[in-house]
């Protein structure tokens, strides 16, 4: 079976892990700091704060921005963690429709969804395609709202020449097993705001004002004394995933280029087929292509092509079923008497199929997928 995803791990990652083992410090420590510094430099922000997932990063970011009630606007087509981040902080995720071409947050609908209770906006760079950040930031500035980029799918993507992750108040990345770069599980928050970073350091470490590494090695002498100044969570990164991250970060641009080459081959083959559309890439962006989302014109073809490809040993997926169709959120919106109106998302998600895409895909695997898709309507 050709999988949808495959991580790209090797000697470089093992070499970095070995260094951490030899140091005898595997918790949150110097390797995490090194990874954070390198990641911030790569994205072009002053700071980066490592976490154990993007779900944790999103929760921490919403909490650290001081949101504990009201509404947070998120796109309807996303992984549930984007919406969960609002609910964790006692705020309501209000669903915004997506743009028909990019499948990212639609700025016109965003404008319509803002109320006096809106506190923040979390745009999602779906599958690696950057959102229209200028339009979103203009609206946010006008209404004095916080913007947190959900960059879980978009390490390495560019918007008007700038890295995704450097375009809002803060941004959250995922290093889950099959993302553009991985640490097994892991996440990162990028920002230029030093006060926010200080708060994030405490919140990711159960609310303690100094982590163990700082007390043991960074301060002049070890001090057992610390204070819990607020309610935090156990969300920090540790030095083993950070070691993998240091090695992966060196490769991520190359891995993304390998993804793009496969996308070009898919697009060249599929553009000839009249019954589907290939992923859109706006002129002023660089897509990170975590996902290759093909859309069939006729939604009734979607499950048929998934079966057709499975019969040819090709795995596929759907990213993502809209948030309000998940049972938890169906009940949530009924319970809270919130009317969800996202007509584009409701239609488009039914056409979406994610095809296999990973940097080490062989020519024959790519050909197998091209032949599999091309033979569907023959
Ligand atoms: C858009 C989006 N946000 C958040 C997440 C959560 O990432 P993690 O698995 O690192 O918690 C994902 C994971 O796929 C995602 O796609």
The predicted structure's pLDDT at residue 370: 98
Q: How many helices (H) and strands (E) does the chain have?
A: 13, 13
The predicted structure's pLDDT at residue 219: 67
Supply the mean pLDDT for the chain.
Answer: 96
Catalytic center residues: 179
3-state secondary structure (DSSP) of residue 175: coil
Instruction: Pull the structure tokens for residue 183.
Output: 């640490």
Q: How would residue 223 be classed by pLDDT, with cut points 50, 70 and 90?
A: confident
- The shares of helix, strand and coil residues in the chain, as percent rounded to the nearest 5, are 45, 15, 40
Q: What is the pLDDT of residues 269-314, one digit of tens each?
A: 999 999 999 999 999 999 999 999 999 999 999 999 999 999 999 9
Assigned CATH class of 11-250: alpha beta
Cα 336 to middle of ligand 1, angstroms = 25
Cα 78 to middle of ligand 1, angstroms = 9
Please state, in angstroms and rounded to a whole number, the distance separating the CA atoms of residues 78 and 335: 21
Lowest mean pLDDT among 29-43, 180-194, 206-220: 206-220
The H or E element that residue 172 is part of is: strand 170-174
Q: What is the pLDDT of residues 250-274, one digit of tens each?
A: 999 999 999 999 999 999 999 999 9
**Ligand 1: residue whose CA is nearest its atom 16:** 79
DSSP type of residue 350? G
Cis peptide bond prior to 183, omega within 30° of 0: no
The predicted structure's pLDDT at residue 358: 98
0.95 cut: is pTM over it?
A: yes
Ligand 1 pocket mutation pick from 7, 54, 183 by most atoms within 8 angstroms of CB: 54
3-state secondary structure (DSSP) of residue 263: helix
Instruction: Pull the structure tokens for residue 278.
Output: 């290939």
Please state, in angstroms and rounded to a whole number, the distance separating the CA atoms of residues 333 and 336: 5
Cα 124 to middle of ligand 1, angstroms = 10
Cα 300 to middle of ligand 1, angstroms = 28
Kindly state if the Cβ of 187 falls inside 6 Å of ligand 1.
yes
Judge if 11-250 and 253-374 fold alike in CATH terms.
no
Cβ-contact 321, 349 below 8 angstroms: yes
Q: How would residue 377 be classed by pLDDT, with cut points 50, 70 and 90?
A: confident
3-state secondary structure (DSSP) of residue 162: strand
Ligand 1 pocket mutation pick from 83, 122, 153, 164 by most atoms within 8 angstroms of CB: 153
Tell me the chain's radius of gyration from C-alpha atoms. 21
Q: What is the pLDDT of residues 118-133, one digit of tens each?
A: 999 999 999 999 999 9
Instruction: Pull the structure tokens for residue 54.
Output: 């993007």
Please state, in angstroms and rounded to a whole number, the distance separating the CA atoms of residues 95 and 341: 8
- What does the domain layout of the chain look like in residue ranges? 11-250, 253-374
Cβ-contact 351, 299 below 8 angstroms: yes
Q: How would residue 221 be classed by pLDDT, with cut points 50, 70 and 90?
A: low
Give, rounded to a whole angstrom, the gap between the first and last alpha carbons of the chain. 22
Q: For ligand 1, what atom is nearest to the CA of residue 126?
A: 1
Q: Is the dihedral of CA 216, 217, 220, 221 positive or negative?
A: positive
Cβ-contact 188, 204 below 8 angstroms: no
The predicted structure's pLDDT at residue 100: 97
Diameter of the chain by CA atoms? 73
Determine how many CB atoms are found less than 10 A away from the CB of residue 223. 11
Please state, in angstroms and rounded to a whole number, the distance separating the CA atoms of residues 72 and 95: 9
3-state secondary structure (DSSP) of residue 159: strand
Kindly state if the Cβ of 79 falls inside 6 Å of ligand 1.
yes
Q: Which residue has the higher pLDDT, 229 or 210?
A: 229
Q: For ligand 1, what atom is nearest to the CA of residue 53?
A: 10
Please state, in angstroms and rounded to a whole number, the distance separating the CA atoms of residues 53 and 135: 28
Assigned CATH class of 253-374: alpha beta
Q: What is the pLDDT of residues 355-369, one digit of tens each?
A: 999 999 999 999 999
Cβ-contact 286, 157 below 8 angstroms: yes
The predicted structure's pLDDT at residue 37: 98
> Is 147's pLDDT higher than 80?
yes
The H or E element that residue 119 is part of is: strand 118-121
Instruction: Pull the structure tokens for residue 123.
Output: 């745009």
| Closest by Cα among 305, 292, 296 to 273 | 296
Residue 294: burial class (beta carbons within 10 Å; 0-12, 13-18, 19+): buried
């Amino acid at each position: 079976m050709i999988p949808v995803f495959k991580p790209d791990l090797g000697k470089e990652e093992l070499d970095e892990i070995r260094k951490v083992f030899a140091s005898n410090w595997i918790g949150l420590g110097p390797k995490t700091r090194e990874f954070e510094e390198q990641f911030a430099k790569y994205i072009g922000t002053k700071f980066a704060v490592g976490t154990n997932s993007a779900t944790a990063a999103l929760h921490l970011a919403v909490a650290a921005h001081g949101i504990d009630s009201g509404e947070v606007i998120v796109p309807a087509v996303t992984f549930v963690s984007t919406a969960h981040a609002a609910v964790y902080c006692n705020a309501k995720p209000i669903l915004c429709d997506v743009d028909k071409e990019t499948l990212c947050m639609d700025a016109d609908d965003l404008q319509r969804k803002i109320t006096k209770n809106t506190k923040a906006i979390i745009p999602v760079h779906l599958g690696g395609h950057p959102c229209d950040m200028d339009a979103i930031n203009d609206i946010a500035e006008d209404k004095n709202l916080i913007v947190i980029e959900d960059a879980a799918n978009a390490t390495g993507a560019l918007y008007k020449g700038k890295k995704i992750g450097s375009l809002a108040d803060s941004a959250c990345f995922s290093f889950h097993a099959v993302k553009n770069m991985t640490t097994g599980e892991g996440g990162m928050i990028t920002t230029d705001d030093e006060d926010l970073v200080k708060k994030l350091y405490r919140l990711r470490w159960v609310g303690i004002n100094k982590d163990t590494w700082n007390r043991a090695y960074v301060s002049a002498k070890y001090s057992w004394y610390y204070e819990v100044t607020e309610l935090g969570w156990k969300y920090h990164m540790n030095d083993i995933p950070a070691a993998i991250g240091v090695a992966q970060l060196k490769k991520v641009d190359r891995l993304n280029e390998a993804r793009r080459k496969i996308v070009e081959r898919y697009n060249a083959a599929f553009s000839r087929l009249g019954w589907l559309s290939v992923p859109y890439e706006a002129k002023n962006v660089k897509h990170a292509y975590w996902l290759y989302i093909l859309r069939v014109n006729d939604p009734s073809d979607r499950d048929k092509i998934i079966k057709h490809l499975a019969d040819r040993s090709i795995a596929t997926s759907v990213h993502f079923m809209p948030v309000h169709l998940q049972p938890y959120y169906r009940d949530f919106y009924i319970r809270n008497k919130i009317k969800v109106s996202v007509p584009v998302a409701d239609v488009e998600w039914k056409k979406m199929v994610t095809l296999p895409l990973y940097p080490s895909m062989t020519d024959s695997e790519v050909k197998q997928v091209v032949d599999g898709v091309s033979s569907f309507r023959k």
